Chain A
Amino acid sequence: MSGLLDRLSVILRRDILTALRYRAASGTYVAGMLAELAAFYYLARAVGPGFRPDGVDYFPFLLLGTGLYGFFVAGVASFVNSIHEAQLTGTMEVLMTTSTPEPELVFLTAASAFFTRTLHLAFYLVVGVVVFRVELAHPNIAGALAVFVLSMAIAVAAGIAIAAVQVALQRGAGMVWLLGSLLWLLTGATFPVSALPSPLRQVGELIPITHSLDGLRLALLHDADWGTLARPLAVLAVYTLVLLPLSVWLFGRALRYARREGSLSYY
């Protein structure tokens, strides 16, 4: 266990040091995030106070929706991008021949990518609450954290599955774009899913992030108790138990295919 934590800590350290040493990047990120939140704030004002999706003001609805959407899609994108960079520079072959088992290595790398995005999400929400005055009356913070942890596990699984496509076919970026577009349309990130026609709503129900958004909004905006959160939590737990091992297995198959084809360092 201590070895696992040691390896997680060196991967996190690599990612944080790399991010910090691109000196302009964090300033650019903060400016971009403030502009994005301001755009959503004025969009909500333009729509007017009469529009209350799921019974809440539109800006808090958007804040949570776009925050979690960004966490999910940008996290997957940054993880897949790290695999792509490893293919470009030649570190991929080296990493996949170290003494650390590949499933562990890919899981830790994905966990690190999503840990960084968690910090971004926390900052995004704090700015929304403090700067744009979103009111949270009696939020169920523990419930929100439980929803978030399961959502993160699902995001890691999605990242690993798309990384498998990147390793096998070198075109994970296209999958990220498709994933982002589908989530934008079907999960209720920016508008309530009740606006969708019934067949699309049913497809949206099959996407775990729909339940993540549902659970997070219930916990933070509707002050829901654990009983109310039971359904989204149960759905997310089932998805986690299925998707996480499945994605690691898929990555293992993709690696074996790449080793057989000699395409481990293709990009």
Chain B
Amino acid sequence: MDTVTLESVSKFFRHRPALWNWLGAERRGVTRALSRISLRAAEGDVLVILGPNGSGKTTLLKLVSTMLLPDEGRVLVCDADTADDARRARRSVGFAVASERSFFPRLTARENLDFFAALEQVSREERPATIQQALEASLLAEVGDTLVMKFSSGMYQRLGIARALLKRPAVLLLDEPTRSLDPGGTWRLWQLLRRTSELGTTILLATHNFEEAATIGQHVVVLRHGEVAAERRVGHQTSIEDLRSFYFREIEPEGAEVPGEVG
């Protein structure tokens, strides 16, 4: 069964300049962020989304999370349409957003997680154990009682993942999850994501990291100017170089040099 389905989804962003636009020069018109995207991800799949900046990766994740509504097409999460039945869709989705500071700075990590767990309707009895597990899984157990305003970027990022895991979601969305992590933290996160997908959670992961894509991905989609430029399966035998060549063949204009292939 497909857990996430995008059916010919388009998303536009309208630019609405100020009334006194002659004083500055704000752009007008519409940006087409995603154009007729169709994708499917089944239970336990790890779908990696690659693409240059501005290609629509985060927009795609936000559409699945219900932060955004599609302008055309349908997004289904566990059969719930995000436009008509967002509440049911939301119950199945955990999103580790790219914004590192999306926490309450004067609460500790544990207090933040307790707050969000309550809103995710994790019962009061279950919360302490669930939060402890999430803190341990994200390697934050030792700093659980530290105010998050004292956290580094990497710690914020791990806390974001802990928050996304609180409700044991059917779909986990990750936006550049290892961007600020050290190599040890990155490796442990990949282990965690592998275990999570083996338990049946569908993972959609936007990244620029080929090693990450090759290590934990099962399916790779390359976005370019809001369209699916290419997709392929990946497995244990897929090397980072294979993936890099595949990506640049799709993204760079014909004949351009593939970065990383020197000489």
Contact = CB atoms under 8 A, between A and B. Distances in A.
Interface stretch (B21-29, B61-69, B230-238): B61-69
B125 to A, nearest CB: 10
25 contacts: A7-B118, A10-B118, A14-B107, A14-B111, A17-B106, A17-B111, A18-B104, A18-B106, A89-B99, A89-B101, A89-B102, A93-B67, A93-B102, A94-B163, A96-B67, A97-B66, A97-B93, A97-B95, A98-B119, A99-B120, A100-B121, A262-B33, A262-B62, A264-B67, A265-B99
Interface string A1-42: 001001100110110011001100000000000000000000
A261 B62 CA distance: 12
Contacts of A260: 68-69, 71
Contacts of A253: none
Contacts of B95: 94, 97
A94 B121 contact: no
Interface residues of A, number: 31
Which are the 5 A-B pairs with shortest beta-carbon distances? Answer: A90-B99, A90-B102, A98-B119, A10-B118, A21-B106
Contacts of B167: 99
Contact of B97 (A17, A94, A261): A94
Given A14-B107, A18-B107, A259-B69, A3 B102 contact: no
B95 to A, nearest CB: 6
Contacts of A99: 87, 90-91, 119-121, 167
Given A91-B104, A99-B121, A264-B68, 15 more contacts: A7-B118, A14-B104, A14-B115, A93-B62, A93-B67, A93-B99, A93-B102, A97-B66, A99-B87, A99-B119, A105-B119, A259-B67, A259-B69, A262-B62, A265-B99
Give the size range of B's interface with the partner. Answer: 35 or more
A22 B103 contact: no
B107 A10 contact: no
A79 to B, nearest CB: 16
Nearest to A17: B107
A122 interface: no
A95 B119 contact: yes
B64 to A, nearest CB: 10
A6 B163 CA distance: 18
Contacts of A89: 99, 101-103, 105
A259 B68 contact: yes
A138 interface: no
B187 interface: no
A96 B104 CA distance: 15
Q: Which residue of B101, B114, B118, B124 has the most chain A CB atoms within 10 A of its CB atom?
A: B118
A199 interface: no
